[in-house]
């Protein structure tokens, strides 16, 4: 099979309208792809100290657990993990919504709900970590 069409020009995967307008791929998905990979690597790295923190808290009473979780280093690790995981969750759900929701109004509403839910989860977790680390 030849890579040329009947007139001798190279074949293209673009639609006729795309060829006329000289429009190709938007290239916006690449940025989300790399952000999702970056957050996945960050979560993988932060899981190791997170597991250590959980193991340190196991078997302690509430005061002992609060003392460990009140450490600024533990709070920093937990904050970084929460931010990476909520960002990863937002990107992943947005990709699913964009791929499988075909009604434009429902798609926009779903993406907005995804953004609000992600922010709410992140803010609740950050508030809890700050409250634990401040000792209040």
Q: What is the residue-level pLDDT of the chain in tens, covering all 136 positions?
A: 556 666 666 666 667 666 666 555 555 668 888 999 999 999 999 999 999 999 999 999 988 888 898 899 999 999 999 999 999 999 999 999 999 999 999 999 999 999 999 999 999 999 999 998 887 6
Residue 59 within any structural domain of the chain? yes
Confirm whether pTM is higher than 0.75: no
Q: Which of 94, 86, 85, 136 is nearest to 113 (CA)?
A: 94
Residue 44 neighbours by CB distance under 10 Å: 10
Residue 3 within any structural domain of the chain? no
Residue 47 within any structural domain of the chain? yes
On whether the CB atoms of residues 125 and 82 are closer than 8 A, the answer is yes
Report the number of distinct structural domains present in the chain.
1
Q: Kindly state the tokens that stand for 32.
A: 């989300």
Within 8 A by CB and 6+ apart from 134, the residues are 70
Residue 111 within any structural domain of the chain? yes
Residue 21 within any structural domain of the chain? no
Residue 4 within any structural domain of the chain? no
Expressed as residue numbers, the domain containing 51 is 27-134
Q: Spell out the alpha helix ranges (H) of 29-103.
A: 29-57, 62-69, 72-100
Report d(CA 113, CA 27) in Å as an integer. 25
pLDDT tens-digit series, residues 66-82: 889 889 999 999 999 99
Residue 104 within any structural domain of the chain? yes
- Which CATH number is 112's domain given? 1.20.1300.10
Residue 100 neighbours by CB distance under 10 Å: 9
């Amino acid at each position: 099979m030849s890579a040329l069409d009947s007139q001798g020009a190279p074949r293209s995967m673009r639609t006729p309208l795309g060829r006329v307008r000289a429009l190709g791929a938007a290239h916006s998905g690449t940025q989300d792809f790399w952000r999702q990979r970056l957050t996945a690597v960050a979560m993988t790295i932060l899981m190791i100290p997170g597991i250590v923190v959980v193991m340190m808290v196991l078997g302690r009473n509430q005061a002992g657990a609060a003392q460990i979780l009140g450490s600024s280093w533990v709070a920093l690790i937990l904050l970084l993990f929460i931010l990476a995981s909520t960002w990863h969750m937002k990107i992943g759900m947005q990709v699913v919504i964009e791929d499988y929701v075909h009604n434009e109004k429902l798609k926009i509403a779903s993406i907005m709900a995804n953004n609000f839910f992600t922010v709410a989860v992140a803010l609740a977790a950050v508030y809890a970590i700050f409250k634990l680390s401040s000792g209040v």
